[in-house]
Amino acid sequence: MGVKSKIKHLVSFLLHGEARPVYAEVSYLRADNRLAGKKVIITGGGRGLGLAMAKKFVAEGAEVLIAGRNEQTLKDGASLAGCKYLKLDVSNPSGFNTFIEEASKILGGANVLVNNAGISLHEPTFFDVTPETFDKQIDTNFKGAFFLTQAFIRHLKDGNSKGNVLFVSSETGDTMDFRPYGFTKAAVNSMVQGLAYLFRKEGIRVNAVAPGITASDMTGIKADGSLNAGEYATGRFYLPEEVAETAAFLVSDASGCISGQIITCNNAQTINARWK
């Protein structure tokens, strides 16, 4: 929680005895089978935004496979979303070709990859970053996503197939940072544009969603707890379900003319307005 949000909570508590509730008004597109024929791999799909996307995509007619390191988390997530699962450590590229082959076999021909898996170690200062924390975040958020995408696009090209890659970036990719997490997301944004341009004539689209701070295990914010966030125009943090709506559009054929775009989901928070 930011300093402004903490102050807002304190003032509300002093005036009213408790923090005023913040309500999330979220609209959803009615499920209309708009992802029929999409066979989707989602990394980090057992919980948080990955699971919200899995649920939304299945509701829209897609066949979905979620991937991650913890098998029990995957089992639980697959049961909730009504999808398949397969174990994967995204920080270890050595097994990526085998994983893509197996996942594609389970789905009957994977044609969408969602690079959602990511970690932030939330180092409090520049001097708390170590070579170990640096490498761990680079390996998962950037290196892993790069080489898994490489294996996936190779799979598409070998089958002469069209496809779609969606990265989960972050609003931190739009701003300065002193921590590896922000560096990885800035690099992801560059990669999205580079790959989109590289494969623009081959029917392979590449885009990203870049959420603001969203309720998840990684951020430590609970959807059933306080979502107060005075720094955002909404007055609250975001819910994974609303980001999943944007993700569903980007992997659907309705966004067929969009590639190389990073859609920042934070109500213009990181716009570099000169009058700030």
Instruction: Please state which of the ranges 67-76, 162-171, 231-240, 267-276 shows the lowest mean pLDDT.
Output: 231-240
Say what the pLDDT of residue 18 is: 52
| Tens-digit pLDDT profile for residues 47-63 | 999 999 999 999 999 99
CA dist 183 to 10, 72, 122, 205, 261, Å?
33, 31, 13, 24, 18
Higher-confidence position of 193 and 27: 193
Q: In whole angstroms, what is the distance from residue 128 CA to residue 144 CA?
A: 23
Say what the pLDDT of residue 19 is: 54
Q: Is the pLDDT of residue 85 over 50?
A: yes
Residue-range domains of the chain with CATH: 35-265 (3.40.50.720)
| pLDDT confidence tier of residue 20, bands split at 50, 70 and 90 | low
The token pair at 231 is 């720094």
Provide the mean pLDDT of the chain.
Answer: 89
Find tokens 């980007």 and name the residue.
250
Higher-confidence position of 89 and 16: 89
Higher-confidence position of 239 and 86: 86
Q: Is the pLDDT of residue 88 over 90?
A: yes
Taking residue 174's Cβ as centre, other Cβ atoms within 10 Å add up to 19
Q: Is the pLDDT of residue 15 over 50?
A: no
| pLDDT confidence tier of residue 5, bands split at 50, 70 and 90 | very low
| Tens-digit pLDDT profile for residues 218-248 | 767 666 666 766 677 777 777 889 999 999 9
197 is catalytic: no
Which burial class, exposed, middle or buried, applies to 40 when counting CB atoms under 10 A from its CB (0-12, 13-18, 19+)? buried
Asked if residue 97 lies in contact with residue 147, where contact means CB atoms within 8 angstroms, the answer is no
H-type helices in the chain, by residue range? 3-16, 48-59, 71-81, 96-107, 131-137, 144-158, 180-198, 240-251
The strands making up 39-43's β-sheet, listed across from edge to edge, are 84-87, 63-68, 39-43, 112-115, 163-168, 204-211, 262-265
Of these residues, 23, 28, 85, 181, which one is catalytic? 181
Q: Is the pLDDT of residue 119 over 80?
A: yes
Q: Is the pLDDT of residue 269 over 70?
A: yes
Q: Which of 143, 162, 164 has its CA nearest to residue 53? A: 164
Taking residue 272's Cβ as centre, other Cβ atoms within 10 Å add up to 7
Q: Is the pLDDT of residue 8 over 80?
A: no
Say what the pLDDT of residue 2 is: 42
